Amino acid sequence: MRGIATTPCPVCGGPLAWNAQNNQWWCGNERKYYPPGGPPATGTTSASPSSAQAAMAASAQPVPALWTQNFYRIRKKVLAIAGQYWIEDQARNQLAYSKQKLLRLKEDIRVYSDETMAQELFQIRQTQILDIWGTFAIVDSSTNAILGYIRRRALSSSLVADQWEMRDPYNNLVGEIKESTGRGLARKYVPGGGLIPEKLTMTLGGQPIATINQQFKIIGDIWEIQCLNVPSTFDRRVFLGGVLLMGMIERARK
């Protein structure tokens, strides 16, 4: 049985219908599910620490064990026509693989279990063609449910320091991925600053939950993600998608 949501789809603005069998909201226009927790909220206003945590808890789905680990490594191979990326655990076991498409009007990044690309794990979808390196939906491939959004703060990222927003499935701001202002300015404006590796902090509800440390290598770059205090209900694919996007943007600038 389906009921109609009182607020529209956060992506297309169309009506949402409640699907009791799947326990999720369904958008007929987008052909995708949204997690439960009440009808999605509209708008993109900032959230305080307490309300941000509540928003995450309300939208939480069971998180696969693969995406609850406390350490991830993302490797980028640069000696290739198209960008290739591997997600690994601390023991360097491969968890996932992604290959960036060369010709595209709209970013549609697929992440697979390995190089055969037979099993798709999640997607990173650009929400609007004209929103270059703007807002991206992180989507579970098996259910087509949106796990959250990553949004680049274009002006500050281009001129000062890299900053990204983490948003819940209803497009509410719940966290950030950001670089310190001093390091960002040095990387962008000091001669040779491009060789300074990135160091970023992730926050959820205003509280630090993880760090990202970049390492430059001869044949490719590495990002190591150390989780400090990530809630068990938070799907790490949201910020892993953000780190993949950072690598792809950096490649596009070179």
pLDDT of the residue at 74: 95
Any idea of the CA torsion for 151, 155, 158, 160, to the nearest 10 degrees?
A: -110
pLDDT of the residue at 198: 78
Q: How far apart are CA 199 and CA 183, in angstroms?
A: 8
pLDDT 10s digits, 87-101: 999 999 999 999 887
CA distances, 97 to each of 103, 153, 241 (Å): 19, 26, 12
Q: How far apart are CA 15 and CA 7, in angstroms?
A: 7
Q: How far apart are CA 10 and CA 33, in angstroms?
A: 12
Q: Which residues of the chain have pLDDT under 70?
A: 1-14, 19-23, 30-31, 35-61, 78-81, 102-106, 129-133, 154-161, 180-190, 192-196, 217-219, 250-254
Strand partners, 210: 202, 227
Is residue 50 within 8 A of residue 161, CB to CB? The reply is no
Is residue 221 within 8 A of residue 234, CB to CB? The reply is no
Residues in the chain: 254
Domain spanning 65-253, CATH architecture = Alpha-Beta Barrel (3.20)
pLDDT 10s digits, 192-229: 656 667 788 999 888 999 999 988 766 678 999 999 98
The DSSP secondary structure of 150-163, one letter per residue, reads EEE-HHHHHHT--E
Strand partners, 166: 150, 175
The boundaries of every CATH 3.20.90.10 domain in the chain are 65-253
Q: Per the structure block, which two tokens stand in for 190? A: 């000091």
Task: List CB contacts of 129: < 8 A, sequence separation 6 or more.
Answer: 105, 106
CA distances, 64 to each of 50, 67, 174, 200, 230 (Å): 25, 6, 21, 25, 15
pLDDT of the residue at 153: 77
